[in-house]
Structure 1
Amino acid sequence: MADTRERELPEHVTTPLLTLITARSMDEDYAHVAQQRVVAGKAPTQPSQPHWASVIAVAALGVMAAIVAVQTDREAEVNELSRAALVEQIESRSDQLGDIQRRVAELTQSNQAAASTSTRLQAQLDDIRSRVRRAELNTGYAAVEGPGVRITVDNRPGAEVDNEIRDEDLAILVDGLWEAGAEAIAINDQRINVLGGIRNTNRAIHVNGRPVIAPYVVQAIGDPRTLQARLLQTSQGQEWFALVNGLGFLYTPENVDDIRLPAAPERALRDVIELNADPEGVTEGEGSAP
């Protein structure tokens, strides 16, 4: 069946290309020469051998065909190699892109975890700062301001030494103000707190270890509407006013809308250790989250 189909194909289909080109070129040359002889009145002759120009043309065509075939094969190989290299690059870059995407996902997750930790630590830090601030306010180690009472106390002119204001007299006034509702007290800008004190050294009065001289300005932050009245109702207040009347102290109180008191001077603790601390003074569990 295959042989029958092959015989049915035209000659120009089954003939090799180079042979077909050569034959047709020679036939066209013979036909051209024969036509010229007929026009000249000569009898056409049968070609004995191909013209040399035809042979050269045929040879040139053959060389060109061979070059084209070789070049086509080479280009096919180059194109195939280029395609393979391109596919390899695409696969390599795809792997790199996958690695980068996974790294980005890991970094994103790590960043979210860090942000969550930062938020939690910031909340803890804010809470610690708030607690420290409250502790400083309660212990006197922070400057404060607010409304209150300013009381100026002085010795009676010409008073004898025994009748001058002493440390215990000022302590009675301060204790009365605390009991009356004062929240912060200072004498001559020396803040009174639990580690401070009012002491006499000969005739001089020392507050927080620093000397103060008359007139003594006692400032107390509290409700100015009730502070002086409540001072009169306390036992220390009554004892103070008995001294004022008995020894002739000069006493001048006034309500003030804005009083500013400095922080108490810090003192190093030498013997106090926290209950949850070891003997070296390091708190147990220090550095761990609460």
Structure 2
Amino acid sequence: MCGMPQQPPVRSSAARPRRPDASMSLITNVMDHSLDDGYAEAAARKKSWGEGGLPKTLRAKLGLAGGLVLAALVVTVGAAQARVAAPVVAKEHQELIDRVDKETADADKLQSGVDKLRDDVSARQRAALRSSGGSAEADLVGMLSGATEVHGPGIKLVVNDAKEASTGGDGTNPRETAGFSDTGRVRDRDLQRVANGLWASGAEAVSVNGQRLTALSAIRAAGDAILVDNRPLVPPYTVLAVGNGPRLSSDFQNSGDGLYLHALEQNYGIRATISTEHDVRLPAAPSVIVRTAQPVPDSADAKNSKNAKSSKNTEKTEKGTS
């Protein structure tokens, strides 16, 4: 029996194992190509520039140098502008100084004219009083009221600020809480107490820096300045008083106001000196205003007025008796 030729058995090859992530091709592609091509190109370009450009330290130095040049330019331009404006500012400043000096001179000239006219009026008043029967009593009233110039023995008291006087205070000392400030400066109330102390010690006439004090005078403050009858004074303050020099000096220094001044010297550095003078001269007060006045009757009118009052009293007595 013929049989068909026997074919050798076909040997099947073993199948290749399958990748576990074969079904996750998208995720695999993302993992293998995490950087986009565009980003990769930009990073490569930046790297090439860094390698071929300037070193970082050199770039930093160039930046600093550029900043310094710019600052120097700004300063130079500012200095040039200031140099150009300086003559203009100096000229305006000098013009203001000249204007103030001129106005001050004009004011002093006018004040001098006023003083001369006032002296002339006072002289005419005294002449009129003498011609109308003026007496020594009238002269005494004029002296005490400050209407006439006086001179005679007395004392000279100089009160000055402390050597290191300043402005302002901290509000923690007795003087400041009482209306003063511990600045080493003489205050208006200090001069008020000095003037009142001299009057109480027997002074017949008092002046401060040439300003005659009267019963209507006011010593006030305007900031750090002291005003006497609205006229500003500057230290040192020279106080002149007419009277019995030795007694006036002793009585004032032993009085409460004199002890107050001594306390200012000891505690706040205020400087004060007092001396006896053989002859001090005090000017008349700038203006003495007569507020009310009554004519003084002569002897005949006074006698008639007295007789009239006596007769009226007699009539009243008779009516009361009847």
Structure of higher CA gyration radius = 1
